[in-house]
Each structure stands twice: as C-alpha cells, then as structure tokens.
Amino acid sequence: MKKIIIAVDGFAATGKSTVAKKIAAALHYIYIDTGAMYRAVTYYVQKQNSTEDIDVAQLIDSLPNVNIHFENGEHGQQIFLNGINVTNEIRESKVNNVVSKIASVEAVRNFLVAQQRSMGKERGIIMDGRDIGTVVFPEAECKFFLTASPEIRAERRHKEQLEKGNLESFEAVLENIIARDHQDSTRSINPLRKADDAIEIEVSTLTIDEVYRLMMDKIQSIV
C-alpha cells in the first residue's frame, strides 16, 4: 500500500481530530493535531506573562525555547511542552480565548509549519488543522475540508467539555467558536481556507462513523 499524506482542515470543533485519529489507527499512520501545537505555544506565552497583554516581540524571541513533542500514551496522544504533559491544560478556556491571536503571528506559524513539514517527511501521516492542505502540505494526495453550522459545533464541543468537567456555558462556547472562525479566516498569514482540490464534507447531519466512512472510501481509492 502506498503511503500518502492526508490533510484535514476546517472550522473549529468540526470533529477533525476525532475522525483523523480513527483514520490514523486504521491505516497505522502518524496522526498530528496541529491545533494542539498552536495551543501549546499559547499556553507557554500565558505562563510567561503575568498580564493578559501579550508582548509579541517577546513571544518571537522566546520561540527557540519552545519544545513541543507528541507521545502516544494509554489515554491517547499526549502533547508535551518542554517535557511537561500539557494535554489537558491546552483545552482550557483561557487558551481557547487567545489561541487564534497567537496563531496569527507570522513567526509562530513559520516556527510550527517547519516542524509539521518535517513530521511528514516519511509520509504515512494524517494531519489536521487550518492550513494543512493549503500551506503545510499543498502536495498532499488527499485533502478534506470539514464544515458544520456554528450551533451544531458548539453543541458538540459543549457536551465534550461538560464530560471533562468544564462547566463553561453553551453561549460562551458558541461565542468562542464564532470568534475563532472569524479570526482564523480573516488573518493575513495562511488564513483558514479550503484548498481548491480538497473534498468538502458538511458534517452537521452526519455521525463520526459516517464522516469516517466517507473519508476512508476516498482514501482507499488512492492508496
């Protein structure tokens, strides 16, 4: 079977990572959640700054001190920031509210995109994010773009957060999703955009299994 690169992009909380993880397991591919990398940089910045204001110049200077790696543990894939497991911390609202701002800084994007490209050197990888099919791997053999209404996405994310004990209201989750979509789609550097050759899947009325099946059918027609 030929090893390919699979790019999964789309709006916040469309289930990209859930379905990408399932596909990676089925194909024995590496899975990379690039959103977790932007979240880890955001968490790092927040730890460095006592105030809410972000000093972009200082952030750029400190990028060489940011070391991110993934490990597959018994609770699924874990992300480490300078050797410390931050998998749960990067999902907190504090990070949700600032991540799109940090992700709009060109130096941050260059720093992470270079690492993402090197992770895909051996191919056999499925990566999810916002700019995978357009910027990180424009040459990917298989590209998907997931969409759904903001309300449905917020409902799913809210439920997921409640299960983890995060008591944020539905309205707050919806507001954050809408704000991030806007910021991600309108930033000047590598905005969220469907690649011309990506297959768009509207997931509002589909279960994860149905999305998985659609994507696997396409992938299997290529590999």
Binding residues for ligand CDP, rule: CB under 6 A, are 12-13, 34-36, 38-39, 99-100, 103, 129-131, 180, 184
| Residue with smaller CB distance to ligand CDP, 27 or 136 | 136
Q: Least Å distance between CB 143 and ligand CDP?
A: 13
Nearest Cα to 65, choosing from 40, 91, 102, 34?
40
| Residue with smaller CB distance to ligand CDP, 35 or 150 | 35
The set of residues, in sequence order, having a beta carbon less than 8 Å from that of 82 and lying 6+ positions away, is 44, 65, 66, 67
Q: Least Å distance between CB 103 and ligand CDP?
A: 3
| Residue with smaller CB distance to ligand CDP, 27 or 148 | 148
Asked whether the beta carbons of 105 and 176 are under 8 A apart, the reply is no
| Residue with smaller CB distance to ligand CDP, 36 or 219 | 36
Q: Least Å distance between CB 13 and ligand CDP?
A: 5
| Residue with smaller CB distance to ligand CDP, 62 or 183 | 183
Residues 167, 202, 8: CA angle, nearest 5 degrees:
80
| Residue with smaller CB distance to ligand CDP, 143 or 180 | 180
Q: How many CB atoms sit inside 10 A of residue 104's CB?
A: 19
**Where are the alpha helices (H) located in 72-134, listed in sequence order?**
93-96, 99-102, 106-119
Q: What are phi and psi of 126, to 5 degrees?
A: -125, 125
Q: Which residues of 166-196 are buried (b: 16+ CB within 10 A; e: fewer)?
A: bebeeebbbebbbebbebbeebeebebbbbe
Q: Least Å distance between CB 218 and ligand CDP?
A: 21
Asked whether the beta carbons of 211 and 19 are under 8 A apart, the reply is yes
